[in-house]
């Protein structure tokens, strides 16, 4: 319809009142060694376009592409229900953890680089550690915080992102709510009302007899 429509073609867009979180970017990665330490040379890192979740993957999956352009191709082919023709490296974040992350990304320095690099290490349940780095901490932050959110949601809700988004109480809270004892105050109030009602009826009957 867009191709066959008259020109100029008016378009109407809708912007929902929601927050869109994008956890992706071009970074340097290293995932083919067993060590959690940063490579000794900057040449050992590989450039990849890293995507955490996204529109064509589960929230707990990291996909790495050779470029942003190839990621766009993968999105188009997936939405068209076609086989993906680009190379994709996938990693599972379920039961994973971040190494030495209590103070944020770590620092590695190289002789031929003007500024130190920031990097963090993901230890998956299976496989080698995944090291992701960038000379710019601002560029590294979306992917780093995206992985943090996934791991935190798994710790809080067993990986059930839907339950967390709906603020669904845990099963333990539900059981405690169901086992609350009945309120004795309501019963006492009822007994008081019944006693008052009985006394008023007796008074009315006595008044009838006296009359």
Give the per-residue pLDDT at 170: 31
> In 29-66, which positions are buried (b, 16+ CB within 10 angstroms) versus exposed (e)?
bbbeeeeeebbeebeebeebbbbbbbebbebbbbbbbe
Give the per-residue pLDDT at 1: 64
Q: Of 133, 130, 155, nearest to 63 (Cα)? A: 130
Could you say which residues of the chain have pLDDT below 50? 159-196, 199-211
Query: Is pTM, for the whole model, over 0.85?
Result: no
């Amino acid at each position: 319809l867009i191709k066959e429509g008259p020109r100029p073609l008016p378009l109407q867009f809708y912007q929902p009142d929601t927050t869109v979180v994008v956890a992706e970017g071009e970074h340097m990665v290293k995932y083919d060694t067993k060590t959690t330490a940063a490579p000794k040379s900057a040449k050992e890192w590989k450039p990849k376009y890293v995507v955490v979740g996204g529109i064509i993957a589960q929230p707990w999956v990291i996909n790495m592409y050779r470029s942003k352009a190839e990621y766009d191709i993968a999105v188009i082919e997936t939405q068209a229900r076609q086989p993906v023709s680009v190379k994709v490296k996938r990693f599972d974040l379920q039961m994973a953890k971040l190494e030495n992350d209590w103070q944020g990304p770590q620092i590695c320095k190289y002789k031929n680089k003007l500024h130190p690099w920031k990097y963090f290490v993901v230890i998956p349940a299976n496989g080698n550690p995944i090291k992701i780095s960038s000379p710019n901490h601002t560029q590294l932050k979306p992917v780093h915080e995206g992985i943090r959110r996934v791991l935190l949601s798994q710790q809080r809700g067993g990986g059930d992102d839907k339950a967390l988004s709906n603020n669904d109480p845990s099963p333990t809270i539900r059981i405690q709510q169901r086992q609350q004892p009945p309120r004795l105050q309501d019963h006492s109030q009822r007994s008081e009302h019944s006693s008052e009602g009985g006394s008023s009826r007796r008074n009315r009957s006595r008044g009838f007899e006296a009359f």
